């Protein structure tokens, strides 16, 4: 509420991504909610906001708002966004291009099986990007690629750099990478799925499932 009172449409317009125009009330509400979230985090803590090209202006406004509210301005670090979209833009059903918190095991398996993964192409390889995300954000010590002995046996990666190198050299094949990634992703989502069993979250999941189905119908 306070963020909304202290803000202005001009400030919110300036917080949007460079290619984005202020066209709806939803953009105003989303910006104010972000300011409130950052303010809640900033209370008595050292906060670092990671910004990509689309959120740089938004986080700058949030830092300014936190400082004007009597808190230390959060530090802003510019990061290169890691694309986790499973298909190139415009390709595939929209619901199949993203991993959702409501995805079941069979959904994860299906999505990664259909994910774009051209042998040797590390410039755009969603499965490789997902391995990097798992290693850096899910406290995963290593990523294991299961292979038959006649294909060289299992591979273990503690860093995404070596995986990228071997995928680029085509010593790691998409047919081995994808199923191993699906298995690792399903394991990482176990705690999320347990949390989704709560009654109120079950209702939210039904709404998300309905939304996903509507996206598929629109694509057809």
Q: 145-168: buried (b, 16+ CB within 10 Å) or exposed (e) per residue?
A: bebeeeeeeebebeebeebbebbb
Pick the closest to residue 128 from 79, 184, 77 (CA basis): 184
**pTM for the complete prediction?**
0.62
Give the distance from CA 26 to its chain's centroid.
21
Query: In three state form, how does the secondary structure of 94-146 look?
Result: HHHCCCCCCCCHHHHHHHHHHCCCCCCCCCCCHHHHHHHHHHHHCCCCCEEEC
Confidence of residue 162 (pLDDT cuts 50, 70, 90): very high
What is the per-residue pLDDT for 81? 64
pLDDT digits (tens, 9 = 90+) for 60-87: 888 888 888 888 888 887 776 677 889 9
Least confident of 98-102, 127-131, 185-189: 98-102
pLDDT digits (tens, 9 = 90+) for 180-195: 999 999 999 888 788 7
Helix (H) or strand (E) holding 188: helix 174-188
Pairing mode of beta strands 155-157, 143-145 = antiparallel
């Amino acid at each position: 509420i306070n963020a909304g009172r202290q803000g202005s449409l001009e400030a919110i317009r300036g917080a949007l991504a460079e290619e984005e125009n202020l066209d709806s009330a939803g953009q105003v509400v989303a910006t104010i909610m972000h300011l409130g979230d950052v303010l809640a985090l900033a209370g008595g803590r050292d906060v670092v906001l990671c910004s990509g090209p689309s959120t740089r202006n938004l986080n700058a406004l949030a830092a300014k708002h936190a400082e004007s509210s009597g808190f230390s301005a959060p530090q802003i670090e510019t990061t290169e966004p890691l694309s986790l979209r499973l298909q190139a833009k415009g390709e595939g059903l929209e619901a199949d291009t993203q991993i959702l918190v409501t995805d079941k095991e069979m959904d994860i398996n299906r999505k990664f099986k259909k994910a774009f993964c051209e042998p040797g192409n590390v410039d755009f390889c969603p499965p490789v990007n997902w391995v990097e995300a798992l290693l850096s954000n899910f406290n995963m010590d290593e990523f294991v690629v299961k292979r038959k002995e006649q294909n060289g046996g299992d591979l273990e990666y503690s860093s995404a750099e070596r995986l990228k190198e071997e995928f680029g050299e085509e010593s790691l094949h998409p047919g081995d990478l994808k199923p191993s990634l699906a298995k690792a992703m399903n394991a990482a989502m176990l705690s999320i799925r347990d949390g989704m069993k709560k009654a109120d979250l079950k209702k939210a999941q039904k709404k998300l499932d309905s939304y996903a189905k509507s996206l598929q119908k629109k694509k057809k």
